[in-house]
Amino acid sequence: MLSALAAVAQINVTGAVVEQGSGEVLAGASVILRDDAGKIRKYGTTDAAGNFSLQAPSTAGWTLDVSMMSFAKRTVALDGAEYPLRIELEPSATMLKEVAVKADRIREQGDTVSYNVGSFAQAQDRSIGDVLKRMPGIDVADNGKIKYQGEDINKFYIEGSDLLGGKYGIATNGINHDDVGAVEVMENHQPLQVLSGISFSDKAAINLKLKNKAKATWTFHGDVGGGYSWQPEGAVWDGEFFAMAVMPSFQNITALRTNNTGEDLSASNTDFFADRRGTGLGSYVSVGLPGVPSLGSRRTLFNRSFLVSTNSLWKFGHGEFKANIDYSYNRVASEASNVTTYYLDESDRVITEHRGGTEHTHSLSGKFIYELNGRTSFINNTLRTNIDWDEIGLRTCGSLPNSQTARLPDYYAGNSFKMIQRFGGNHLVTFQSVNEWESMPQTLGIDIAAERLRQHVSDHAFYTHESAAYAFNINGITVGLEGGVKGYLRSMNSELPELPEELPGLTRNVVNTDYLTLYATPKLEYWMRRVNMTLSLPVSYAHYAFDKAIADRDELYFSPSLSLNWKPGNRFSGTLHGGVGRSPMNLNLIHPGLIMTDYRTLKAGTEQFYNSSSQNISAAFSYKHTRRGVFANGMVMQSWTHVPYTMSQQLYGDYVVYSYADARNDSKMFTATGSIGKTLDFMRGSCNVSGSFNRNESQLFSQSKAVSSVSTFWSVGGKVGGSPWRWLSCGYEIIYADSRLAMNGASEAWLSTMKNKLDLTFLPCRKWQWTVSAEHFRNELAANNFKNVVMLDTRLSYQLGKRVELAASLTNILNKCSYNYTTYSQLSSFESQRSLRGRQLLFSITLRK
Amino acid sequence: MLMCAAAVVAVAQEKADILVSYDVRARNWANDSVRSSRMSLLANQREAKYFNDLSLWSDSLSSTPEGEKQLKQIIMAACMTEMPGGGITMDMRKGPVKKIHTYVFTSMPDGKLTYYSKFGDSEGYYDEPLDEMQWEIGDSTTVILGYECQSATTDYHGRRWTAWFTTDIPLPFGPWKFRGLPGLILKAEADSAFVFEATGIERSDRQITPMYSPEKYQKMQRKKALADEEYYINNREAIIQAKFGSKVEFNHNAADRPKYNAAKYSLEPDYKDN
């Protein structure tokens, strides 16, 4: 009876849900009864016929919510409603506040660590290089060089192909991060397949995995900008064109870049894997525009730069052919006022000068490679040609007013051939032939005190290196023997112009420095499950001939080294390394006569042949926990070098003469570095802390007196970046460095530099993006004398459709036009007032395919 | 006939509306710590599928003979280290090896869910009517991933669960077997040792593909399957020895280790009630 009454009191809220317009019934729609306070009292879903039925004790003030994905939500007031209801839902996109479903940001599979690019990229990033900087464990230096866990990478691949060799800056600065799915780091990467399982590698390689949309097609993007700069006053431009094709049997990257906005293009033009050339020439003439520490090129570089690079790769069978052709032009202008103080015992000597100059650099290079990289054989032939043309004009006012011009062309051609054959599984035979030729004619012209001086230095070298090696493996021990011959022919001629008579020494050089070296390198590698031990025992015999300028020499060199790597699991790796060695001096220092390096510096070489010896020990570790996104590495190194000669410096009037004298010069260096990085998943970001310490002790011979100097340097830095909210992405970076020089026990003050950088990017909606950034530099010029500089920049961009972006940027808003600093070299201090790039307004348009 | 089969497939494969990722933290018996794993939910208005990405990838490859071969090669390449001199070592932790066996297919029109998993050493499945889970809506609210969520509680298979759902996404699904609220469940927890929490929501039109290789799974009864699993955990060495005739030792199965405690480690300890 009671329950019947209660049942009578219940109201049956029934109805049907249909699509507006078509009248089609909607099954599975959510229906919610809310009371007058908005609290959910009953709920359900519509059945296959679109009907629902909910019981309620009363419906006074109640509402019914009806919703379904892809339809607009309807709320119906139930006061005075008649049942069954007929509710029409209007089709509409349900607004979903999307929060990216993240793939793991970092994954590990075997020896490969894979970073998901989308989960590290921030809205303001453009190239893949911008995103690489945010990945913990990966470090990108200002010049574009990539390190993984503190070690330089040994290969840079795009979809598994080594298209660019060491000039991977073209790719990191050019490839749009949106075209890259993942960055893979391959640890312990042995680039030569034929050596896999035989020779250990402690280096890592990077591979860019492209998204499908960027594969098997050409992708392009271009960027054109123009504007106005307050200093240097006038028009500025910035343009870029980038094209890439990644096909199964063909790859091409072509880039063209030009600007005069202070962007240094050398990062796109440096071969980070380049070995030192066997020809070993160096420029005697050194007329350089002064550089600025701890300030980016965008603040200081008064440039006009142009770069074009085209790189192609064709695959056929197991082989591939690559052609890399680059041309770059760079014009850099620089103005500086300098005060140089030479520390002498009687009294310090001060030279003031104002310098203004322009440097034009052209560089044309071509590299042609054929490579076959198979499991049993490896063949590589690389032909390299390079023409550099460097012309510097420098005008100096001050105690010795003058103008200098230096022409420093460099012509180089080299071919290297390498063949490795593996047979019987564990036996290896290698043949290698390297031939290089280089010529560096150097001309220095000086107009000083109404006199015109001209010095010409000609320097040519030919280097050849033929070697054969055999290696075999038994029970985890690889025994290898490499033997070969190196030949070197070099001739150098120079003649000094007329100089004041007080300068002592010969004015002409006719020097030949030739050698023939026979060498053998036995190598023992022991490789068990978790430990690799490598012992290398290179021994060589060399005959040096100097064409009677100085006596011929016969030398024997032995430089054994031992390294030990321990990798107990996936996470930790530790390496110990030690070596002792003996090596010949730099042959370029052998010249009896004086050579002028700039208008007031002369160098006298030695008339002696010297050998130096060195010892070093180092320990390094790396640790990673990819699931937690933690990467850490550290290194300590101690080295000793013993050189039986030392450079000394003499002043003759306004001239400085450097020469070498017999003296025991022992130096000792200690270096420690460490870095730890971590992903910050809550804001799709990452952070990093790093530090370094360096102490260098050396003995020097000046004005016939021994000077011992100790320089100490340490730095700590940290950075953090991420996107805590959808509408904001931010980054903060701080670097603090301190250095000190002590001479004969008397210490100078510690001098510090500090840089703070803050970037904020606001994303009010999908189309607009506004970045504000501030940089603060604090430099200690002398003890407790600080120079602060604050730079503010801003950039506003608008996305006009999928392929077009418009942007306006204003850099150095405060129009700070000068920057001062002091640096110390071993026996002098150098104070500089340097002009900066002023305020700059740039409008640009970016197009993408 | 062929067309008919195609039609059946077409009906079975619906497109999803959304993809949700969940972090799952559960107390683990092996080392008595709370471990986390990542699961995904693909759902539309009618049905939902709850799975692990790696397992789905692995199972989809294994469902064809060529794919199974390919998967083996991938795992070998990642886990195997070749030693000079011919020796090899395998470290299964290095490769993409399937570890999570749970799949939940929930269907509103059928009024049931199907739960696939590995119980002990045998793979099985069972069906469960959707009305076995009854909710009481609470008053608390919280914000998860930017969505205003409301609380609800249920006593389900031996645990008291608190769930947080949002009516902004009108889908009656959630992680694991959770269903039946008037909005998507973004978080569910039963004391601090069992937590399911959404970490991402995206629009998705992926196919809600049916179970790969369903013939490998035997029909089971839920409580019986859970009891079998407990027996297996407590006696794995003996079972493996009986099956393969060789002796195996597990790190976490030392003699002094306490027996599996369902009240502490099982998501559904009610199988012990009988």
Interface A:B, Cβ pairs < 8 A: 117
CA A402 to chain centre: 38
Is B206:B42 a contact under the CB 8 Å cutoff?
yes
Indicate the burial class of A92 (C-beta count within 10 angstroms; 0-12, 13-18, 19 or more): exposed
Q: Token digits for A353? A: 């000068």
Is A569:A187 a contact under the CB 8 Å cutoff?
no
pLDDT: which is higher, A101 or A584: A584
Question: Any idea what the Cα angle at residue A441 is, between residues A437 and A445, rounded to 5°?
Answer: 165
Contact assignment for A40 to B96 by CB distance below 8 Å: no
For residues A428-437, average pLDDT: 92
Distances from the Cα of A511 to the Cα of A285, A460, A487, A547, B115, angstroms = 17, 11, 17, 7, 87
Instruction: Let me know if residue B252 belongs to a domain.
Output: yes
Mutate to test the interface with A, among B45, B80, B149 (most CBs of A within 10 A): B45
Residues of A in contact with B36 (CB under 8 A): none
The answer to whether B18 faces chain A, any CB pair under 8 Å, is: yes
Helix (H) or strand (E) holding A170: helix A169-174
The pLDDT of residue A721 is 92
The pLDDT of residue B207 is 87
Same domain for B95 and B24: no
Mutate to test the interface with B, among A101, A477, A534, A628 (most CBs of B within 10 A): A101
The pLDDT of residue A618 is 96
The answer to whether B40 faces chain A, any CB pair under 8 Å, is: yes
Is B253:B237 a contact under the CB 8 Å cutoff?
yes
Mutate to test the interface with B, among A39, A42, A69 (most CBs of B within 10 A): A69
At B66, give phi and psi (nearest 5°): -65, -40
A722, B53, B171, A43: CA torsion to nearest 10: -110
Residues 560-579 of chain A whose Cβ lies under 8 A from any Cβ of chain B: 570
Q: Which residue of B53, B84, B167 is in closest CB contact with A527?
A: B84
The answer to whether A48 faces chain B, any CB pair under 8 Å, is: yes
Q: Which residue of A45, A98, A110 is in closest CB contact with B172?
A: A45
Helix (H) or strand (E) holding B133: none
Instruction: Let me know if residue B141 belongs to a domain.
Output: no
Residues of A in contact with B84 (CB under 8 A): 197-198, 426, 473, 476-478, 527
Q: Which residue of A68, A110, A196 is in closest CB contact with B170?
A: A68
Same domain for B66 and B43: no
Residues 510-549 of chain A whose Cβ lies under 8 A from any Cβ of chain B: 527-529
Contact assignment for B201 to A478 by CB distance below 8 Å: no
The answer to whether B37 faces chain A, any CB pair under 8 Å, is: no
CA A600 to chain centre: 35
Distances from the Cα of A399 to the Cα of A31, A349, A449, A501, A675, angstroms = 91, 12, 11, 19, 47
Instruction: Let me know if residue B5 belongs to a domain.
Output: no
Indicate the burial class of A610 (C-beta count within 10 angstroms; 0-12, 13-18, 19 or more): middle
Helix (H) or strand (E) holding A160: none
Residues of A in contact with B96 (CB under 8 A): 109
Residues of B in contact with A43 (CB under 8 A): 181-182
Closest CA to A476 of B237, B89, B261, B133: B89
For residues A590-617, average pLDDT: 90
Closest CA to A151 of A118, A184, A189: A189
Same domain for B94 and B196: no
Same domain for B119 and B235: yes
Same domain for B91 and B192: no
The pLDDT of residue B10 is 38
Question: Is the pLDDT score of A194 beyond 80?
Answer: no
Q: Token digits for A601? A: 């510096």
Least confident of A213-222, A496-505, B171-180: A496-505
Sequence letter at residue B55? S
Is A367:A403 a contact under the CB 8 Å cutoff?
no
Residues 737-796 of chain A whose Cβ lies under 8 A from any Cβ of chain B: none
Question: Any idea what the Cα angle at residue A33 is, between residues A32 and A36, rounded to 5°?
Answer: 135
Contacts of A133 (CB under 8 A, 6+ apart): A140
> Each residue of A219-238: pLDDT tens digit?
999 999 999 999 889 999 99
Least confident of A86-100, A327-341, A342-356, A579-593: A86-100
Same domain for B121 and B48: yes
Question: Is the pLDDT score of A635 beyond 90?
Answer: yes
How does residue A158 score in pLDDT terms, banded at 50, 70 and 90?
very high
User: What is the C-alpha separation between A841 and A362, in angstroms, rounded?
Assistant: 28
CA A102 to chain centre: 28
Instruction: Let me know if residue B24 belongs to a domain.
Output: yes
Determine the number of helices (DSSP H) and then strands (DSSP E) in chain A. 4, 51
Contacts of A88 (CB under 8 A, 6+ apart): A17, A18, A19, A20, A23, A74
User: What is the C-alpha separation between A541 and A555, in angstroms, rounded?
Assistant: 6
Total structural domains within chain B: 2
Q: Which residue of A44, A69, A101 is in closest CB contact with B202?
A: A101
Instruction: Let me know if residue B148 belongs to a domain.
Output: no
The answer to whether A65 faces chain B, any CB pair under 8 Å, is: yes
User: What is the C-alpha separation between A274 and A277, in angstroms, rounded?
Assistant: 8
Same domain for B43 and B23: yes
Residues of A in contact with B18 (CB under 8 A): 69, 96
Contact assignment for A475 to B78 by CB distance below 8 Å: no
For residues A352-357, average pLDDT: 83
User: What is the C-alpha separation between A774 and A788, in angstroms, rounded?
Assistant: 13
Contact assignment for B40 to A101 by CB distance below 8 Å: yes
Q: Which residue of A40, A48, A198 is in closest CB contact with B84?
A: A198
User: What is the C-alpha separation between A528 and A564, in angstroms, rounded?
Assistant: 11
Question: Any idea what the Cα angle at residue A376 is, between residues A374 and A381, rounded to 5°?
Answer: 55
> Each residue of A721-743: pLDDT tens digit?
998 887 899 999 999 999 998 88
User: What is the C-alpha separation between A750 and A784, in angstroms, rounded?
Assistant: 9
Q: Token digits for A752? A: 């510090």
* Residue numbers of the domain that contains B90: 53-99
- For chain A, give the percent of residues with pLDDT over 70: 95
Same domain for B228 and B107: yes
Is A789:A812 a contact under the CB 8 Å cutoff?
no
The pLDDT of residue A330 is 93
pLDDT: which is higher, A616 or A652: A616
Q: Domains plus CATH for chain A?
A: 2-89 (2.60.40.10), 106-212 (2.170.130.10)
The pLDDT of residue B84 is 55
Residues of B in contact with A30 (CB under 8 A): 167, 170-172, 182-183
Chain A nearest-CA distance from B24, in A, is 14
Instruction: Let me know if residue B258 belongs to a domain.
Output: yes
Average pLDDT taken over every residue of chain A: 87
Contact assignment for B169 to A94 by CB distance below 8 Å: yes
Same domain for B249 and B113: yes
> Each residue of A646-699: pLDDT tens digit?
777 788 877 888 888 787 788 999 999 999 999 988 888 899 999 999 999 987
> Each residue of A101-149: pLDDT tens digit?
656 788 777 778 889 888 888 888 989 999 999 999 998 887 889 999 9
CA A267 to chain centre: 7
Residues of A in contact with B94 (CB under 8 A): 108-110, 570
Q: Token digits for A817? A: 């036009």
At B172, give phi and psi (nearest 5°): -85, 40
For residues A539-550, average pLDDT: 89
Contact assignment for B167 to A100 by CB distance below 8 Å: no
Residues of chain B with pLDDT under 50: 1-11
Which residue from A minimizes the CA distance to B94? A110
Residues of A in contact with B203 (CB under 8 A): 96, 98
Q: What length is written for chain B?
A: 274
> Each residue of A9-57: pLDDT tens digit?
688 899 999 998 888 899 889 999 998 888 898 999 998 899 999 988 8
How does residue A3 score in pLDDT terms, banded at 50, 70 and 90?
very low
Is A414:A437 a contact under the CB 8 Å cutoff?
yes
Same domain for B215 and B268: yes
Same domain for B224 and B240: yes
Q: Kindly provide the residue ranges of all beta strands, DSSP E only, lying in A801-839, ordered along the sequence.
A: 804-811, 818-824, 828-835
The answer to whether A193 faces chain B, any CB pair under 8 Å, is: no
Residues of A in contact with B83 (CB under 8 A): 197, 476, 527-529
User: What is the C-alpha separation between A685 and A642, in angstroms, rounded?
Assistant: 47
Instruction: Let me know if residue B142 belongs to a domain.
Output: no
Indicate the burial class of A783 (C-beta count within 10 angstroms; 0-12, 13-18, 19 or more): exposed
Q: Which residue of A31, A101, A110 is in closest CB contact with B79?
A: A110
Instruction: Let me know if residue B121 belongs to a domain.
Output: yes
ipTM of the complex in this document: 0.84
Which residue from B minimizes the CA distance to A571? B94
Question: Is the pLDDT score of A499 beyond 90?
Answer: no
Same domain for B93 and B30: no
